[in-house]
Amino acid sequence: EAGVVQSPRYKIIEKKQPVAFWCNPISGHNTLYWYLQNLGQGPELLIRYENEEAVDDSQLPKDRFSAERLKGVDSTLKIQPAELGDSAVYLCASSLTTNEQFFGPGTRLTVL
Amino acid sequence: GENVEQHPSTLSVQEGDSAVIKCTYSDSASNYFPWYKQELGKRPQLIIDIRSNVGEKKDQRIAVTLNKTAKHFSLHITETQPEDSAVYFCAASLSGGGADGLTFGKGTHLIIQP
């Protein structure tokens, strides 16, 4: 069984530029999560999807961040415009409703 | 919202000794507590989890204990090996099923000295 797939693995952009991250969850997993992990810190939840519905986006900075999960499978997280403080690893995870969360390898974003 | 505190931030033990990492949580409604291991540059991987209806769970050299009254839980690793070196994160979830987003501690860097 393939794990959670994310791309790109690394992204370097200049501040004020837009950036997008893509996530393909484990087949059949209805719940998808985006987390942000700063260096030396634990992951912090940004948004959670149940199928195609965003059921918890309270921690998503909506002025510059947006996300979508069309058809309840793949998901895209976008930042526009990026700021220096957005440099971090963006992790995607998926789960069946009541089971463990499986994490992807993450996208390491560097904003210059 | 939930707040998870984790201690220590760094733990160095001799190979073969035991390691204990402790976490406290703030929301008494939390009832699912997983532990993740993250090696440098890798994804977090679940190593063990516990739900609030049990007080202890063991899997080979790894065990987790939960004290609901005191709102704290601990990870115990016995007979530590070099491959145990990594950052360990505790987490808590409100739903009990793990389907809710997890609130993580800040991590413990475990160093196994040869």
Mean pLDDT of B75-104: 89
pLDDT tens-digit readout, B50-83: 988 889 999 999 999 999 999 999 999 999 999 9
Residue B16: other Cβ atoms inside 10 A: 12
Asked whether the beta carbons of residue A41 and residue B49 sit closer than 8 angstroms, the reply is: no
- Token pair, residue B26, equals 């703030």
Higher per-residue confidence, B101 vs A103? A103
Question: Which among B6, B89, B101 is the nearest to A33, CB-wise?
Answer: B101
| pLDDT at residue B98 is higher than 60 | no
B85-B102-A28 Cα angle (round to 5): 95
| pLDDT at residue A94 is higher than 90 | yes
Question: Which among B44, B45, B99 is the nearest to A97, CB-wise?
Answer: B99
Asked whether the beta carbons of residue B105 and residue A42 sit closer than 8 angstroms, the reply is: yes
Report the C-alpha gap between A45 and A37 in whole angstroms. Answer: 9
Beta bridge partners of A18: none
Question: In one letter, which amino acid is A11?
Answer: K
